[in-house]
Structure 1
């Protein structure tokens, strides 16, 4: 029994050892006629017993071939190279080293080359949409969409702001779906250029206008990125990183770094895109939303509303950490629910140092010399979404929720002197603030078709609430101008600042909040096959509150036992009610469109300013507004578009109150109780000519505002 077992084990061991034996095979690939070496030939090797287990090799320098670690046995060999007939044979591996010798390839039959040249179509036009063929514009291998857009005529990018045909692009779409909300800068850096089939530039109607079919004049310029069909299913992206050392840097960060990238997971209608950027070399590629003026802007007109604009990168040396994600999908048996959403986080730390030297020759010979520095920390969170539900063929509902939060903590100081014939005046200003705010908003639009084509009703509603806190400590020099500069001083920085400086220390606290409600009703009625009449009523209510208290303190900024300064403190609230009503007309035939609307608008302001005595502010404003748009497609190559409209900006209560702001002794301002609304007229004209045969597009734009 033991002998049988031992014999079996020895047999298995021998078989295993034999099975594990491998050999290295070499060869040389040559031209059969000239004897020249052929590098780059492809060799396909497969066991005769298992032809599906193929291995591939390539001839190297001087046609040398090396096939290491082939198990003992019989193999088939196929050799191919462009311009040669395939070479096929079999060989057996039975030794640790084996040379197949020379493999001679015979040239194939030569045929005459057939070359057909065609000019790549760069642009084309359909209606008011200009389409750019991405393949006709050459970019580097790892370029993103931003690099592609910079190559296209009529499109410019400056500090992240994209302009097309002379107008700022407000949104980016990918295959017709919103991409990163209103953050255009982030959107164009999130996709590689190689994924793009074409770029479409067009005039996007507002949500309400798309639902009602009546252009309301509140549209905007948009870009739609159409991807290649093979890129709509799969994963792709780009990542990069760099590290450097600067021995002479003055910023304090000797090690410099830059890292970032994007990743995209596309599966039909389900799409996820992630983008990131981390650096300390002042690369602020992403724009971020200013919620409530926490970057310094606290006012503005009624158009757009607070928090509805983007802030471009500021000067200075910034450390940036930014992450964004965009998700879109379609659900339901009939794809009746569409969702698009994005979240973005941005953290910036910006340091800025400045030196100003100015010389004046008139009206008096003076010299101004200042040095300033600032340090700002900012955090921003933003979420936007769009949910559309096609309830039935005649009923649609669209909801846009949004939330944003931002904190901004700036620290700045400026010192300097102005001296000369006008006298001598030192400057010493300091400010340190803590600002934060959030914004919650929701838009909803419902549209119903009432049986007859062209007969619709559209109901549009909006809610927005924002809260903002601004606490600051500051001081500024209030010393009077001296008639003469100090004797013996040969440079401004040689003077004794304490002898000519009288600082006033201020502590300010200014919480504020806003509430905005808007409702709009639009009814359209067809009057012919190509014409519609419309009726629109809109009501908007805006409520603002602000409680500013300023204290004149000592150098420690303590307010214990100190009452607010009446001249620098005020509490106010305002209520704006704006109502607009009017008819409209729309005519559309064979891609030619004419729209005209006229509205009567009445705005009522009811405000109250609390200071020593309550100051009531009540105003009513009556205006007639108009809007007209014409789109004329002369032929397939030529089109005209004319846009004429008017709008108003009503003054804020802070612009109307007769209170002086003397928080900065060098910049004193006050409101004007008699201020009237601004009435604005706009004209935009576009002419586009597209020559398909020559691949040429000519655009002429004219705009005017009064």
Structure 2
């Protein structure tokens, strides 16, 4: 079935492309210098429709000056060829049934002089520009459907992949931040920008390897690099108001509401968004979600914190049904060259209902058994988050960046679990029971950073001070009612408890980092730094047993209650030397990290305090190397070390019995973990052919990794887990991403990704070391193809093969494969009609019997534009037409193999209406923000003196 789908999809695209190309025209030629006869590479070639000067296609000449434009429909055109320092060439072109192939031969270009027949090209921008740390795309060169959002545009860009939930991967790396005109948009959530801003207002999309504010100032890489996208708004779209609003209702009381309203000015951005639905469509990244119990759930068996040395999921289908409401406001204001203010507030309320059926094989060196669990849970998280960024340039030498943040989450959760454990041989029942959990709580965090930067008159001499503060607190109350029967050699023992737990924690950290840079030669700089961070945390856990006589929880359980205090001082000092040459730069440095930790625990059971003191020293070398082979080829190497503090939940030595069969303990003896990371990146992009290749190699190793050590009781089926430090782990992985153009039209790409990884990890089972060796091989591919303005197709697939081997629990060894296929087709019909359909097929092999289930999700819709200028859209859509949507997953660890089946959203149909608002100022607005030809392709400015049909303002 899978092979047939792939073959049919490939053949379909090939036939469509072949039929289209066979009836379309082609233009080719060669550009040379009129005097020297030398070829002119990387010249810009623009084909415009003669009737309205809208862009039909673009090209760039190759190293020999040759260019070629294919896929041209019959009609009259004007061809412009431009090269910096030369007169532009103007050629009228006609494509007809008798003239499909136009060979212009050699076109000699003259130096200087830019005015030709009253037309002057003032500014030009090719589809793709390669810069040092940035790959820049001209948005108008990549066709999208009318009223598309930024997410749709990103799918057209070479090397960029957007998954079904809106997650973005660029050049093999996850995009963690999206900026608008270089400014934050609703904090750091990429989806709020890509799912709300329309594509037709975008001038450029920039893929950036963004450094920290500190590194951007000192120009000495600190290894804190993240993949970011900067969206540059068109100049003529910075004065106006735009947005959209959608309301829909469907079968089974399904509903969907959302709106966004944006008002942009030259120096101001104001955006308001909101919405709600019960069809699992978040539209944002869930953050600051609270869980109850250290297991990460309401006591259910699916959240157990065992070390997952090898893990895989057979599907990417989200479990459960989610309903959500959200609203937010984002404000950006440039008051002057000295003062820039960005701020946002966002609120979301998510409710998730999950039903799960789990089969888990517990594996130990000498025995194994099976545990069966049915879970029903309901969780609600209401989160408020507030972000501000204030940049103030005191003068040309001094500046300040202030970034305060605030978050508040209120949550409640309840779950009911029914479970039983049976032996693997005789199938005798080991235990059976049920647990009910109910929890309420809130958590808040407030903090911020102040970065003061000063430049001196001597170039390269700087000093900066970064002050940070963060305070977070959590108050939780949960009730656990558990009844379990244990069977040991036909001896029955009942265990039950009804308890209320209160967990109150408060943590604070204050930090200061001072950095000084000094030039020591023309191309070499020295950086010295010192930083100190003071961590303080306090946790109080009280457990009260239920008093049936007084009908309340009034008897403190001293064995499950304690007060815990942690105080840690972390100091870091070091230096780095940076050298900058014409084609390469590098930095080498060394940091010393001193960590002093004091843990104080008061036990109500023993009525006494205990104190643990630790002193650790880590050497943290760091190094970066960047080599630019050419404008479009770059190599980057980075090595860094980082220390991670254990959480207060991991340190607090009191049992958490929210899961009757999985008891978690804290460990006050934990040390901070230290991890080394080595990354190698090689990127190359050919801006003439639009072909790119992005390769990355990662390796990691370190010491004192924090894992969960498990002790399993075969007679009761209970697991006791406690975090400990271990050494001896490492991992290495390599990825290769290719972007292959399917035609000379930008946006029609084949993106492929190949990854290979190997990891060696360690765990402790009944105090015995168990090493794992995991190999993962994965291949994915996706294609985007757009035929004129009526057919838009995207399709893709992936396959991954997992091999897991253990040195101790060999029965956990596993081989399994995951497969996925997807396709999305949209057709624009006459009279404003559109039809669309998408299908996602996911399956796996290697799971336990009954769990190798395929999931097929087929959706379809039909829509029609209404009102003048297509301001309204009526859509009828159907979800899960085949009723084959399913969620099946597998987790493989050193001591269990777990297969889980969950409930998912069922078939529904919905009718919706969308209203589009596009009102822009300026001489060329006409309130037509998505006019065909004006917002697509490369554009030119009008010159003096008339001539031709005129060129639209907006620039390259």
Q: TM-score, normalised by structure 1?
A: 0.74
Structure 1 match to 2:478: 472
Task: Select which of 407, 415, 423 maps to 2:410.
Answer: 407
- What are the residue-to-residue correspondences of 1:462-541 with 2, within 5 Å? 462-481=468-487, 483=489, 502-541=495-534
Q: CA deviation at 1:693?
A: 1.8
Structure 2 match to 1:257: 255
Q: Deviations over 1:14-52 (max 9, x none)?
A: xxxxxxxxxxxxxxxxxxxxxxxxxxxxxxxxxxxxxxx
Unaligned runs of 5+ in 1: 1-81, 84-110, 247-254, 300-311, 486-498
Cα pair 1:506 1:663 within 8 Å, conserved: no
Give the distance between the partners of 1:465 and 1:361, measured in 2 at CA.
Answer: 42
Cα pair 1:584 1:597 within 8 Å, conserved: yes
Q: CA deviation at 1:415?
A: 1.2
Structure 2 match to 1:114: 94
Aligned: 1:281 with 2:276: no
SS of corresponding position for 1:698: strand
Cα pair 2:546 2:553 within 8 Å, conserved: no
Cα pair 2:433 2:483 within 8 Å, conserved: yes
Give the distance between the partners of 1:294 and 1:274, measured in 2 at CA.
Answer: 33
Q: CA deviation at 1:700?
A: 1.4
Aligned: 1:393 with 2:391: no
- What are the residue-to-residue correspondences of 1:302-451 with 2, within 5 Å? 315-332=319-336, 335-356=337-358, 368-419=371-422, 421-424=426-429, 425-451=431-457
Alpha-carbon distance change, 397 to 292 in structure 1, aligned in 2, over 3 angstroms: farther
Aligned: 1:642 with 2:634: no
Aligned: 1:614 with 2:614: no
What number of residue pairs does the alignment pair up?
A: 562
Deviates more, 1:313-322 or 1:214-223: 313-322
Q: CA deviation at 1:132?
A: 2.6
Structure 2 match to 1:130: 135
Alpha-carbon distance change, 297 to 184 in structure 1, aligned in 2, over 3 angstroms: farther
Q: Deviations over 1:66-101 (max 9, x none)?
A: xxxxxxxxxxxxxxxx89xxxxxxxxxxxxxxxxxx
Give the distance between the partners of 2:296 and 2:631, measured in 1 at CA.
Answer: 48
Structure 2 match to 1:139: 144
SS of corresponding position for 1:143: coil
Q: CA deviation at 1:656?
A: 4.6
Alpha-carbon distance change, 591 to 182 in structure 1, aligned in 2, over 3 angstroms: farther
Give the distance between the partners of 1:296 and 1:137, measured in 2 at CA.
Answer: 48
Alpha-carbon distance change, 555 to 634 in structure 1, aligned in 2, over 3 angstroms: farther
Deviates more, 1:153-162 or 1:571-580: 153-162
Structure 2 match to 1:633: 628
Q: CA deviation at 1:298?
A: 8.2
Cα pair 1:478 1:504 within 8 Å, conserved: no
Give the distance between the partners of 1:243 and 1:269, measured in 2 at CA.
Answer: 39
Structure 1 match to 2:246: 240
Q: Deviations over 1:397-432 (max 9, x none)?
A: 110111111111011111133346242221301111
Cα pair 1:384 1:402 within 8 Å, conserved: yes
Q: CA deviation at 1:659?
A: 4.2
Larger C-alpha radius of gyration, 1 or 2? 1
Aligned: 1:179 with 2:180: no
Cα pair 2:127 2:137 within 8 Å, conserved: yes
SS of corresponding position for 1:517: strand
Give the distance between the partners of 2:92 and 2:290, measured in 1 at CA.
Answer: 71
Give the distance between the partners of 1:296 and 1:657, measured in 2 at CA.
Answer: 11
Cα pair 2:185 2:192 within 8 Å, conserved: no
Aligned: 1:290 with 2:288: yes
Aligned: 1:579 with 2:582: no
Give the distance between the partners of 1:133 and 1:582, measured in 2 at CA.
Answer: 42
Q: CA deviation at 1:293?
A: 6.0
Deviates more, 1:183-192 or 1:384-393: 183-192
SS of corresponding position for 2:662: coil
- What are the residue-to-residue correspondences of 1:73-222 with 2, within 5 Å? 113-114=93-94, 122-158=127-163, 159-222=165-228
Task: Select which of 523, 544, 558 maps to 1:551.
Answer: 544
Cα pair 2:289 2:381 within 8 Å, conserved: no
Cα pair 2:406 2:447 within 8 Å, conserved: yes
Cα pair 1:507 1:557 within 8 Å, conserved: no
Give the distance between the partners of 2:533 and 2:362, measured in 1 at CA.
Answer: 51
SS of corresponding position for 1:436: strand
Task: Select which of 572, 575, 594 maps to 2:586.
Answer: 594
Give the distance between the partners of 2:103 and 2:665, measured in 1 at CA.
Answer: 70
Unaligned runs of 5+ in 2: 1-50, 53-90, 96-101, 105-124, 298-315, 702-956
Give the distance between the partners of 1:212 and 1:483, measured in 2 at CA.
Answer: 70
Structure 2 match to 1:102: none
Q: Deviations over 1:443-484 (max 9, x none)?
A: 101111122111111011011111110100012234213556
Give the distance between the partners of 2:700 and 2:367, measured in 1 at CA.
Answer: 38
Question: Relative CO higher for 1 or 2, CA cutoff 8 Å, sep ≥ 6?
Answer: 2
- What are the residue-to-residue correspondences of 1:9-28 with 2, within 5 Å? none
Alpha-carbon distance change, 618 to 357 in structure 1, aligned in 2, over 3 angstroms: closer
Cα pair 1:292 1:438 within 8 Å, conserved: no
Cα pair 2:593 2:620 within 8 Å, conserved: yes
Q: CA deviation at 1:210?
A: 2.3
Task: Select which of 590, 604, 628 maps to 2:596.
Answer: 604
Cα pair 1:291 1:437 within 8 Å, conserved: no
Alpha-carbon distance change, 148 to 500 in structure 1, aligned in 2, over 3 angstroms: farther
Cα pair 1:160 1:287 within 8 Å, conserved: no
Give the distance between the partners of 2:276 and 2:654, measured in 1 at CA.
Answer: 45
Q: Deviations over 1:251-275 (max 9, x none)?
A: xxxx111111322111112011122
Cα pair 1:365 1:422 within 8 Å, conserved: no
Q: Deviations over 1:275-316 (max 9, x none)?
A: 2221111212211321776797889xxxxxxxxxxxx99732
Q: CA deviation at 1:552?
A: 2.2
Alpha-carbon distance change, 357 to 697 in structure 1, aligned in 2, over 3 angstroms: closer
Give the distance between the partners of 2:549 and 2:317, measured in 1 at CA.
Answer: 33
Give the distance between the partners of 1:218 and 1:112, measured in 2 at CA.
Answer: 52
Alpha-carbon distance change, 480 to 677 in structure 1, aligned in 2, over 3 angstroms: same
Structure 1 match to 2:672: 677
Q: TM-score, normalised by structure 2?
A: 0.55
Cα pair 1:609 1:615 within 8 Å, conserved: yes
Cα pair 2:293 2:658 within 8 Å, conserved: no
Give the distance between the partners of 1:637 and 1:217, measured in 2 at CA.
Answer: 22
Alpha-carbon distance change, 128 to 211 in structure 1, aligned in 2, over 3 angstroms: closer
SS of corresponding position for 1:472: strand
Cα pair 1:155 1:163 within 8 Å, conserved: yes
Give the distance between the partners of 1:558 and 1:537, measured in 2 at CA.
Answer: 58
Alpha-carbon distance change, 122 to 699 in structure 1, aligned in 2, over 3 angstroms: farther
Cα pair 2:155 2:161 within 8 Å, conserved: yes
Cα pair 1:443 1:463 within 8 Å, conserved: yes
Give the distance between the partners of 2:222 and 2:344, measured in 1 at CA.
Answer: 27
SS of corresponding position for 2:151: helix
Q: CA deviation at 1:129?
A: 1.1
Q: Deviations over 1:576-602 (max 9, x none)?
A: 100011111112234632122211110
